[in-house]
Amino acid sequence: MVDSNNDSKDIGNLSGSEDDFDMDGIEDAQDSPSSETLEAIAALQATLAASPNQYEAHTQLITILKSADMFEELREARESMNKIYPLSEDLWMEWINDETNMATSEDEKRHVLSLYERATTEYLSIKIWKSYVNYALQEYNESKEYQDAQEEGEIVVNAQDLTKIFKRADKWTGYHIPESHTIWNVWIDFELERLAAQDPASPEDVKRVKKMYLDRIAIPHVTLDETFSALSAFMTNYEPQEYEKSMSNFSGIAAATRKLFSEREAFEQNLVATGSSAEAFTDYLSYEMRPERKHFTRTRTLFERAIAVHCLVPTIWIDYVTFLMSMNSQKAGYDLDPKEVLTVAERSTRNCPWAGDLWESRFLLMELYHKAEDEVNALFASALSDATLLANPQELSKVLQARCSYVVRTENKDEAGKSKVRAAFEHARDVIDSVGGDPYCKLELFWIEIEAGPLENRDNARSLWTKIEGKLKASSESWLSRVAMEKRLGDPKQARRVFMQACNIAKQIDWPEKIFEAWLLFEREHGTVSEYKEALTRSRSAMKTVELFRAETALKNAYVDQNAYAVAAPVAPVQETAPAPTKKRKVSFQDDVESSKVAKVESKPKATKDKTKVNDDESADANGDQTHHSQPRKPLDLSAGRHEDTCYVANFKDDMTAAKLKELFSEYGKVLRCTMAQPKQGRARFFAYIQFSTPEEAHAALALDGRDVGHRLGLQVKISDTNKATRAPSNAKPPMPKESRHELNVTGLNIDVKEEDLHKLVSLYAIPQNVFVKHQPDAKGGTWANVKFDSEADAEAAVAMNGLSFQGKTLEVTRRVFKNPEYEGMTRTEKRKLKAQKSAERRSQGGGEEGHQDPHQQHKDGDAKEQDVEMSASAAGEAGETKEKESLKKPESSPAKPMTKLTAMAPRTMQPRSTMQGAKAIRGKPVRSAGTGTPLGAFKAASTNVSATVGSSTGGDASSTAAGTGSEGSGETFAPAAPKSNAEFRALMLSGGLKKTRQ
């Protein structure tokens, strides 16, 4: 903090002091805040008084008060903010530094220490912990210097207090792999200074410091080698007689710790590379929480590191609280007490008050640790006062259910207790109705179960069902729940009525098959033969109705390829205006269009221009009438062949008109005609021909290929080519658009987001046709949603949501892009199979690819590579040629038999991997080879008297046989050296130097 003058610093020193000063003189000495500053402060204070949950208003007020040097008001503003929100690392350090600069008395210094304690409990911050231990160490040193002059009890920090602070710091930061050494180094330096001041050193203190070192080298951290070196120096100075024995044991501990560090180094590097992203932390936590490597303190520290960066991600808090609950119940002796668990639960709801799961966990922990009912009621009132929770009915429903569940478990089962339980549910219903109600009616369903069970009031249960059945009539699960309740109440007749009601509206239910199966099972158990017959017939009839409804729905969205249209028979024109073309022309639907228009014009020559523009243009062209055109236009040529000035357009629905197509394609040039084909009855697909004035314009319009035209269809645009061979097969799938203009992709969503909540948000910009949410953790890409609109204008309006803050996260809204439509909806295995099938088809059509050559060609290539092998022994050469000829004579389709291939392999593959492998090859032991031919282990060296001729046959490299030819002609038997190339291997094989040992 920078003070404006010394007087303002004196004012700061008055904070918390009991001395009386003349404030008038000091206040006159400093600059008073301006009127604008005071007005801004008053406005912010009024805003916070009306709505205290505005985080930005708190920070703005603190900034203005600090700039105005209004320290008392600044302290109050910080305290008010910290009652509602946890403060960030920067806000805490700014506050602590201000208080440290103003602290002169012992009370003020103790107040600074209390601020450090509060700051370290909210988030794990190495920066705050380091500042804390340094401040405590400074106060300890000052107290030690003036200890003789001070009275007892006036010491701010003594040795015991400092040791406790160091231990707490090591407890929370010791397993912070990248930065824990910054805290531990301060502690060990302090202990070594105390030990060095003793003469002689106390054995107890030496043992204590030694244990500190041993504990430290067992924890993975980046300065492990430096710590081990410091331990070695410590043992040399204080226990030299046990140095060798102790350091040998310590080396084993350090080696195990290095292994732990190496296993986590990749995760730490991933955190650095991704900027400590939530996905990187999730992967890291998943690794640490595996049963075989779960370590409580290390995992807890990692959770604290994660929430220090991602404090607004509820899933991390939920995993953290669940982890602490499981550890606390599984085993006693962890460095954990109920107060710490409750503290973490409280921190979670302060950071993410909109998450109902966190409130539910907190209620459960308070009940588990037997907290008073007044405390639980106060917590419930605190939850209902949060505006972010009230804005999310589904999350609010979780809190209300947790509260009602607590009342059900704690109240007595007498009439008074039942009245309290019912009153709790009624209050919860009023609260959820005041915010719009829960569309899933989870609170009401829970209430129904309690009414039918512990409260034993079936009439109330049925009455509640009647009130919510309109909301849940499309859910098969709700119908089955109703049936289960009636069966539990012992009323099979009412259960049968429920099945009949569901059967009557089967088309509206999401999964009617489940209800029909449950009905038949119910009648088998409880019904008579006539009742079972009625259930069977009614369910089958209803199922047929459902199947017909589904088929009609699917038919509306069905894709019909252009080839499915029947070719229309040509209609003889009434009057021929031009001689028949000499070239054969393919008959198509344009014959009907042109001939009918010719007949229409001739029969009614006075027809008006009240037709569509396209029909007018084509009629004029067909009759040679130039009344409406300043210059004649060339006719639409649809003869067999490719027409460079005409585009074939397909894959659109009946809502597309010729006027829309012409307007769309006019961006790329002058459209002369837009001829749209009307499909026959029962057909669902349209197509059209669009003729441009020049071929260049038609080719430019190909940019519209893949343009989204609604119904998740991509416009198919290509140059018109009426050759039958170039058409798509009849079973071709419709192309998908490259970029959707009717659908948006929304990322950055909370994993707990509901489709209804997102639908309400999107509706503020445009009414969506459909909203689909895919829930998945951040490690798998995060939760995303697909929002579909009826028009491009609605989708364009909804793009404005990009960058909007929703449920504590920032949304990213973009148009949906179909990356690979061909593989849309396929699993990974299906994609691999499809790729393999396509690859096989290409090989079969193209006559094979590289790597799949004809065996004869491969053998010729092998012969080319073996030209450097010279066989001096005629017998060996003849044997080799005979084997090669036999291999060439074998047909390609002959069955494969185990045989020794003598084709050359790359020298690298024949090189022994080590000296030991070469020795094994000589002794005939199996050795694996990296080559593709027969492994070296299939042969063993044969004892032979190798002559100089054989040695020279290796092509000049005779070093490998030099040892065996030392006593030429002496008749000595020896084992030749292992071949080092395929040339040596081939020569040695053909000469009998290697003997086959296995097939």
pLDDT band at 597 (very low <50, low <70, confident <90, very high): very low
CA distances from 395 to 315, 443, 476, 660, 700 (A): 14, 11, 23, 46, 53
Q: Quote the CA–CA distance of 806 and 810 in Å, as a whole number.
A: 6
| Contact indicator for 900, 937 with CB cutoff of 8 Å | no
What pLDDT shows up at residue 291? 81
pLDDT at 279 over 70: yes
pLDDT band at 60 (very low <50, low <70, confident <90, very high): very high
Segment 99-110 mean pLDDT: 90
Q: Which residue has the higher pLDDT, 387 or 18?
A: 387
Name the residue among 276, 98, 274 with its Cα closest to residue 179: 276
Strands 739-749 and 812-817, by their bridges, are antiparallel
What pLDDT shows up at residue 527? 86
pLDDT band at 221 (very low <50, low <70, confident <90, very high): very high
Segment 562-590 mean pLDDT: 41
End-to-end CA distance of the chain: 86
Q: Cα dihedral sign for 361, 363, 364, 365?
A: positive
pLDDT at 62 over 60: yes
- Per residue in 598-649, pLDDT tens? 333 333 333 333 433 334 443 333 334 433 334 444 555 555 678 888 998 8
What DSSP string runs through 868-927?
T-----HHHHHHHHHHHHHHHHS-TTSPP------S---HHHHS-SSHHHHHHHHHT---
Q: Which residue has the higher pLDDT, 728 or 891?
A: 728
| Residue 332 CA to its chain's centroid (Å) | 36
pLDDT at 387 over 80: yes
pLDDT band at 557 (very low <50, low <70, confident <90, very high): low
pLDDT at 674 over 50: yes
> By three-state DSSP, how is residue 442 classified?
helix
Segment 408-436 mean pLDDT: 89
pLDDT at 843 over 60: yes
| Contact indicator for 568, 683 with CB cutoff of 8 Å | no
Strands 783-788 and 671-677, by their bridges, are unpaired
Q: Which residue bears the tokens 């502690």?
A: 187
What pLDDT shows up at residue 337? 76
What DSSP string runs through 697-726?
HHHHGGGGTTBB-STT-B-EEEEEE--GGG
pLDDT band at 149 (very low <50, low <70, confident <90, very high): low
CA distances from 64 to 67, 115, 223, 365 (A): 5, 22, 43, 40
Full-model pTM = 0.55
Q: How many CB atoms lie within 10 A of CB 404?
A: 21
Segment 70-79 mean pLDDT: 91
| Contact indicator for 122, 86 with CB cutoff of 8 Å | yes
What pLDDT shows up at residue 680? 59
What pLDDT shows up at residue 712? 62
Query: For residue 269, what are its two tokens?
Result: 């590097």
pLDDT band at 842 (very low <50, low <70, confident <90, very high): confident
Query: For residue 124, what are its two tokens?
Result: 């794990």
Give 963: exposed, middle or buried? Use CB within 10 Å, 0-12, 13-18, 19+: exposed
Query: For residue 76, what are its two tokens?
Result: 């109050």
Give 332: exposed, middle or buried? Use CB within 10 Å, 0-12, 13-18, 19+: exposed
What pLDDT shows up at residue 137? 92
pLDDT band at 716 (very low <50, low <70, confident <90, very high): confident
Q: Cα dihedral sign for 241, 244, 248, 250?
A: positive
pLDDT at 8 over 50: no
- Per residue in 760-812, pLDDT tens? 888 878 888 888 898 888 777 788 898 888 777 888 888 888 888 787 788 88
Q: What is the mean pLDDT of the chain?
A: 74
What pLDDT shows up at residue 224? 93
What pLDDT shows up at residue 436? 86
pLDDT band at 655 (very low <50, low <70, confident <90, very high): confident
pLDDT at 852 over 50: no
CA distances from 176 to 125, 216, 857, 914 (A): 10, 12, 63, 43
CA distances from 905 to 279, 857, 980 (A): 47, 16, 12
In this structure, of 234-243, 489-498, 651-660, the range with the lowest mean pLDDT score is 651-660
- Per residue in 242-264, pLDDT tens? 888 889 899 999 999 999 999 99
> By three-state DSSP, how is residue 54 classified?
coil
Q: Which residue has the higher pLDDT, 290 or 565?
A: 290
What pLDDT shows up at residue 79? 92
Say which amino acid occupies 810: T
In this structure, of 154-158, 553-557, 964-968, the range with the lowest mean pLDDT score is 964-968
| Contact indicator for 678, 741 with CB cutoff of 8 Å | no
Give 485: exposed, middle or buried? Use CB within 10 Å, 0-12, 13-18, 19+: buried
pLDDT band at 133 (very low <50, low <70, confident <90, very high): very high
pLDDT at 449 over 60: yes
Say which amino acid occupies 632: P
Q: CA Rg, the chain, in Å? A: 43
pLDDT band at 818 (very low <50, low <70, confident <90, very high): low
| Contact indicator for 574, 602 with CB cutoff of 8 Å | yes
**Percent share of the chain, pLDDT over 90:** 27
What pLDDT shows up at residue 127? 94
Long-range contacts of 74-83 (CB under 8 A, 24+ apart): 74/98, 75/15, 80/48, 80/52, 82/118
What DSSP string runs through 809-833?
EE-EEEEEE-S-GGGTT--HHHHHH
pLDDT at 173 over 80: yes
Beta carbons within 8 Å of 959's beta carbon, 6+ residues apart: none
pLDDT at 935 over 70: no
| Contact indicator for 591, 571 with CB cutoff of 8 Å | yes
What pLDDT shows up at residue 563? 41
What pLDDT shows up at residue 743? 83
pLDDT at 130 over 90: yes
| Contact indicator for 798, 761 with CB cutoff of 8 Å | no
Question: Strands of 812-817's sheet, edge to edge?
Answer: 770-774, 783-788, 739-749, 812-817
pLDDT at 584 over 70: no
| Residue 683 CA to its chain's centroid (Å) | 42
| Contact indicator for 281, 263 with CB cutoff of 8 Å | no
